[in-house]
A and B are shown apart, each in its own frame.
Chain A
Amino acid sequence: MPGETQNIAAMAEKASKEIFDVFGWRHVGPKNKNWGCVEQEKHDRRRARTHSSDVVFRYEDPWSGKDVYVTSDLKSYAKGTVAQHPVASTLRNLSRAVECANKSEEFQTLYVDFNRQHHVMGMLFIYNHDGGYDEDFSKALEGVQPSQSDVAENNRLGVVGPKRVAYLHTVAKDILIAQGKKGELGPDVQCEFYYPNLQTIRFAKTTSSVANLETLLCPWLVMRYTKPSLGISQTGYFIYYDGHGSSVDEFQYLLDYLFKYQIATDHVKIAIRMVFAVPDAPALFEKAKGNYSEDYWPIANVSPEQVRQRMANISFQTVTSLVPTFSEVELGMK
């Protein structure tokens, strides 16, 4: 199907350029490539003896320090038709592909740098080609049982559904615009994603140019920037938050994350940037700042003035959602 092949290639190119490049992912090896299954009996591959990779991305995982290869399955469909698509079987095919990719010499020869420690993950990228996204997809996804997706031990898959595609595309564009000549941060800025060490978990890197797959699926993404200002480098953060901001509690909770991991310190500007914010979100955010200050100040080893100043440095900003156009045709699930 040469037409579909071309469309997949074009969609992969656009998705790479407009989303994943910004998050530090690089596509490697051939696109839309079939390679041999190494678990034919287990994967019931008597007829089709291969797995396919529409595109393979590589990044250095800030959590583990290993190279991660993401074998991706790119889909495009029209709004309202996702329920007709066999999401479970698509996921099962992908999880089997990931299981083999971690063992297959052919896959490794095509895509992997043998000199570095590595691991293969899977990504199902599903895009609504007629604009927007619909909620049917989330329901279809929740209905998939672990036995149906059949993810092998130590492997994992990420599903970037239509809403997430729109969200990540908007975030990526926002980062690029902010770094543009007329952007908020300007071209001299240095931006990195920030991974504060946790109580029991130490990451390989706490700052990285990479936002890994798990981070792209989690509720907020912390981007730290450093820009020279009158010879002194100034640090600040963009927190991209995927919530709706419809309650004071959700903002209070996010504020404690910022204080707990010492992101909110003196003289550091933090912008909470939201794509899906409800109209009341700015007012609720201000209320949350007040509530949190009351809760935080008595237990923190800082003066009320410091708390007030830190809070004044945290702002709420909305980011206009963009509708991406990666493909204009149906690239159905197999």
Chain B
Amino acid sequence: MSKFVQHASYYLDDKDLSDLCKAQNIAPRFLLRFARRRGLFLSDKSSKDELVQGLCMAPISWDDVSVLAEAINTEERDTKQMTTQLTDGVDFDGVPAALERVKSALEANREIPTLTKTGDNKYKLEVRFVEMQPQRTRPLQRVERQVTIEVERVGGRLDIRYSGHEHAKQIVRNLVKEIPARKEKEKAERQVSLWSIRDPLARVKFFTEMINGMNGFILSDVTDLHVDRRFPEEEGDADEESVKQEKEKLVGLVKHAILKGDSLLNSEFYVELQAAGYYIGNIVWIANETGTDQRQVEFYAGFKDPILATDFLFDVRRIAKRDESGNYGKLERLQLGDRESLLKLVEAAAYRALERIDAPSDEAKGQSA
């Protein structure tokens, strides 16, 4: 969640209010209601600019600002998740204390963390903090955010799922450092990263394996694809001349593209792009559940920076139920309970896909033998 936070020692002047109304796309209907609260009835035939100006001319109280904030602060739609797993060497008895230490550090930083034990081996750390965004319009520079970090022991492994936000990532880095290792073993951590994969087809394979490897679901459609053909430059990778040649080769070529539609993986255009060396960076797909519920779910997965391919983000976007005649209804935002289990499915499918592309193929094995 993110919220518009107004500092009480900063009066919103006419320009601030005008910027705020524009930046937040506040509807004229709201502005008319806002005026009506004071007993001022403006015309609904007036333009939005006229309404904003009409309201800005007289002072605005703190109470008015609270009403504005309430109208602006809606639930954040960006709910993407990230993942990391401690696969070995974790001293599980030390996890609660590690979480407490991280919580204390956050409190010392004037943040508001809440730590909850959500199951036998599960914890949830929710953190509220104010983020400064100096590039935004003045009244919106202070944004209250909330990030969540979920920690769950699964057998001998510790799964950590967290909000796709830089601050959550930093908290997780601190938590991983704080979690003690067993005496006899070092901690092992794994994340979903394709940074070292420089073969476009292998990157494509990761995504196709993942969307086809969702337990209890069958792929129905791919509706959104972000493709790219660039790779990160490695240190000492190439001399200046070869970098220059590579850049010259890219002149006149499409570096990346976003495809939207139906059956994208089978589209002629995508097939051509793939053949030309493009790989997938982000994907939105729809899958049908095979069990009793038989729901249709829209998923998202991809990398924050498709070229670096280090920060893996995933999400469950919408869900549709199937009626008695077998038709799916409209895709809608889903309930929290459903969301958690579906997120785990994407996460598991991503790690499995990663193992498959990491594992050398039979053909390669034969060659090396």
Contact = CB atoms under 8 A, between A and B. Distances in A.
B15 interface: yes
Contacts of B242: none
Contacts of B58: 214-215, 217-218
A198 B57 contact: yes
A159 B39 CA distance: 5
Contacts of B60: 219
Contacts of B42: 151, 156
A158 B13 contact: no
B17 to A, nearest CB: 10
Contact of B41 (A158, A164, A218): A158
Interface string A158-188: 1111001000000000000000000000000
Contacts of A154: 43, 46
B263 interface: no
Q: How large is the interface on B (under 10, 10 to 19, 20 to 34, 35 or more residues)?
A: 35 or more
A253 B11 contact: yes
B346 interface: no
A101 interface: no
Contacts of A95: 41
Interface string A135-168: 0000001101011010111111111110010000
Contacts of A164: 39
Contacts of B59: 218-220, 257
Nearest to B7: A295
Contact of A152 (B33, B37, B39, B45): B45
Interface stretch (B61-69, B159-167, B168-176, B297-305): B61-69
Nearest to B54: A156
B8 interface: yes
A253 B39 contact: no
B181 interface: no
Interface stretch (A8-16, A50-58, A71-79, A242-250): A242-250
Nearest to A203: B57
Contacts of B62: 243, 247, 249-250, 252-254
B18 interface: yes
B343 interface: no
A243 B44 contact: no
A199 B15 contact: yes
A153 B44 CA distance: 7
Given A156-B43, A161-B39, A256 B9 contact: yes
Nearest to B43: A151
Contacts of A116: none
Nearest to A247: B62
Contact of B37 (A142, A149, A201, A255): A142
A147 B14 contact: no
B215 interface: no
A191 interface: no
A152 B14 contact: no
Given A156-B54, A201-B56, A243 B63 contact: yes
A63 interface: yes
Contacts of A151: 41-44
Given A219-B59, A219-B64, 16 more contacts: A141-B39, A152-B43, A152-B45, A153-B46, A154-B43, A156-B43, A157-B40, A158-B41, A199-B13, A201-B56, A217-B40, A219-B60, A243-B62, A253-B9, A253-B61, A256-B8
Question: Closest 9 CB pairs between A and B?
Answer: A219-B61, A218-B58, A146-B44, A249-B8, A250-B62, A295-B9, A252-B8, A159-B39, A153-B45
23 contacts: A144-B41, A146-B29, A146-B43, A154-B43, A159-B39, A159-B41, A160-B39, A198-B56, A214-B40, A217-B58, A219-B60, A219-B64, A220-B61, A243-B61, A249-B8, A254-B62, A255-B9, A256-B10, A257-B59, A260-B13, A291-B8, A295-B9, A296-B9
Interface of A: 63, 91, 95, 141-142, 144, 146-147, 149, 151-161, 164, 198-201, 214-215, 217-220, 243, 247-250, 252-257, 260, 291-292, 295-296
